[in-house]
Structure 1
Amino acid sequence: MKTGFTLSLSRMLATAAMAVSAFSAQAACLDNVVLVHGNTASPSSWNNTVSTLKSRGYTDSQLYRPNWGSKTCAACNSHDTTNTNVVKSSLQSALAASCTGKIDVIGHSMGVTLAMKAINELGYSGKVNTFVGVAGAQHGLNSCGVYPYNVVSSTCGSAGLSIDSPLIKSVKGKRYGAKMYSIKSWIDEVVCVGSCYVWGAHTSNIDSQNATYDYALGHFGLQTGTTSKQADLLMN
């Protein structure tokens, strides 16, 4: 009798463990996240964001960090086919492995507009649940000038961030996810050179955004110092 009781108890415990395991697996099903770094940056620039997301239940396998562009020549980088394809590949991989059928995207600086271009070309606007632009320049940079009278560099050219460039025109007025948010600063030392305003709007604002959040932080502090807000926006 004691042996039978012990066997039954073992089976009950095993069943309970399986149920807990199944629940945990279900609870861990979150949108895969693509983190697109900025000009001359590297995937490691997202380390703070990755740490915060992992503390919220994400795993490394759910976080994708494309590595694009020159790390030594900021003026050489643009939204060209080579850089766009790197981001597109990460978006495709993240979606293919997604347990939800959706992905989330966070971009910083030039990574915002590069992610926008990649989403446009893939036709992924309906596949993205949340898009977060951190210190981006959807409306262009005053420091690049107005196209075609722009500063002569790849970053400010036709595939770059000069105001009204073909690239800028191509990313305005479109959807990049079911929910779109911007995180910005009025003391951003990169996007606000000359002025934060482009045609009456802060250039980091995203057309038709659900909300925008202002911080008294610099360009790079916006990426590393707002990770709790970034995570909140993905999980709300």
Structure 2
Amino acid sequence: MLLFVTFFALFATITGTAHYPKRFTDHFVKFLMNNPHRNKFALNSYVVNEEAGTFGGRTDVDDDKHVLQNIRHDPVVFVHGNQESALYHSPTATGWNKQIEHFLGAGYSMVEMYGLTHGHRNVAVALANRFTCEMFMGVRRNIEAVIDYTQTDKIDVISHSMGVTIARAAILGGTVHFTDETCHLGKSLASKVDTFIGIAGANYGVCYCSNYLLMLHRACTNDAFATGICRVGNDTDEDMKINAPINCALEGVSCDNPYSSVLRQLNDRNERVADFTVSTWTTNDEIIGPTNMAWGKRTSHIPLSDLTIEYGELSHGQIKDLTAAHQLALITMHSLDAQLPHVRY
């Protein structure tokens, strides 16, 4: 099912009024420290990034009375994109503050929302970033920790951009081969995930990576978002090289050359990542591109998605920050509330 959503005005969200810990809570850190080796990635993010680098955990623990707040919702694990942040760090690393504030206003608590920072939160080095076993395994261990800590049957996962692939790999598990290492992630966690939302992901690569000037950057290799390159029509070798980014983004133009090996390994498994999977993208995306195509494939579409949503007018960052109301509706109702404005079926 495909929905088209146009924003004529911003959704009313509860922002700037909520107060919440800007790091993992002491109670969650104490839990992680029960197995510091297994939880090294999350603990390192907590220490290195300090405030705004992590969030989540119980806030009302009374050590004398052992009072713990009830968990009324499926806990949500948020996974950010390339050089982003768990919480607001800069205009290019805005984090998940909008979601936290909106969800708190809807009755969620911090024991039901979790995130950590992976990467340096520096957009200037985005092209130098790629997928690694440490990244996949670290996010997976954090998901496992949330499941163990909250003792819930199901969680929800909301991911954005590069985080879509990271979260998919972490949940699907199995073995992933990189050019320089092999990663054994373990069995699939999909049965523990109720809703998975992938926002502006690049599951088949990004067309700017077919630009011959960018191909050698880590972000455009087989361990990241390479799309491959193909001759179209009567293109000469030189034309093929120059026109590749344009041809890659055209609808109906395919390419037999393989795209990113890491992405192919995940897609070729053709396995569900959750009970209910949602793929969203925007036609005003300056990173993924306005057509959302990668050699004939809708790159933000996650295989076996149950619902796909196309937004207009929103940028790559705005589709994360300005759709918190939709994200909440999707994880709680598996649909968009008809009362939310500006939804066109």
TM band (smaller chain): 0.7 to 0.9
Q: Distance in 1 between matches of 2:214 and 2:83?
A: 21
Pick one of 29, 32, 40 that aligns with 2:72.
Answer: 29
1:83 aligns with 2:135: yes
- Which position in structure 1 is the counterpart of 2:238? none
C-alpha contact (below 8 Å) 2:204/2:263 kept by paired residues: yes
Among residues 139, 155, 161, which one is paired with 2:225 in the alignment?
161
1:138 matched to 2:208: no
Q: Whole-Å Cα distance in 1 between the matches of residues 111 and 225 of structure 2?
A: 32
Size of the aligned set, in residue pairs, is: 209
- Equivalent residue in structure 2 for 1:119, among 157, 171, 174: 171
CA contact (8 A) 1:50 1:63 kept: yes
Q: Give TM-score, length-normalised by structure 2.
A: 0.57
Distance 1:63 1:86 in 2: 17
Percent pairwise identity: 29
In structure 1, which of residues 95, 98, 102 is the aligned counterpart of residue 147 of structure 2? 95
Q: Deviations over 1:112-168 (max 9, x none)?
A: 01111111224111111100001111111111129xx97112212222011221111
Q: In structure 1, what is the equivalent of residue 118 of structure 2?
A: 68
Q: Which position in structure 2 is the counterpart of 1:42?
A: 85
Q: Which residue identity does 1:108 align to in structure 2?
A: H
2:284 corresponding residue in structure 1: 187
Q: Is the 8 A contact 1:29 1:100 kept in 2?
A: no
Name the TM-score, length of structure 1 as normaliser. 0.82
Report if the CA contact (8 A) 1:30-1:100 is conserved.
Answer: no
Query: In 2, Cα distance between the equivalents of 1:54 and 1:226?
Result: 15
Please state whether the residue corresponding to 1:49 is helix, strand or coil: helix
Contact 1:31 1:99 in 2 (8 A): no
- CA distance in structure 2 between the partners assigned to 1:229 and 1:171 by the alignment: 27
Q: What is the letter of the counterpart of residue 169 of structure 1?
A: R
Match of 1:109 in 2: 161
Q: 1:145 to 1:174 in 2, by over 3 A?
A: farther
**C-alpha contact 1:35 1:64 (8 A) present in aligned 2:** yes
**1:219: Cα distance to partner?**
0.3
Q: Contact 2:204–2:260 at 8 Å: present in 1 too?
A: no
Cα distance in 1, alignment partners of residues 265 and 206 from structure 2: 15
- Give the RMSD, CA atoms, in angstroms: 2.1
What residue is the counterpart of 1:227 in the other structure? 324
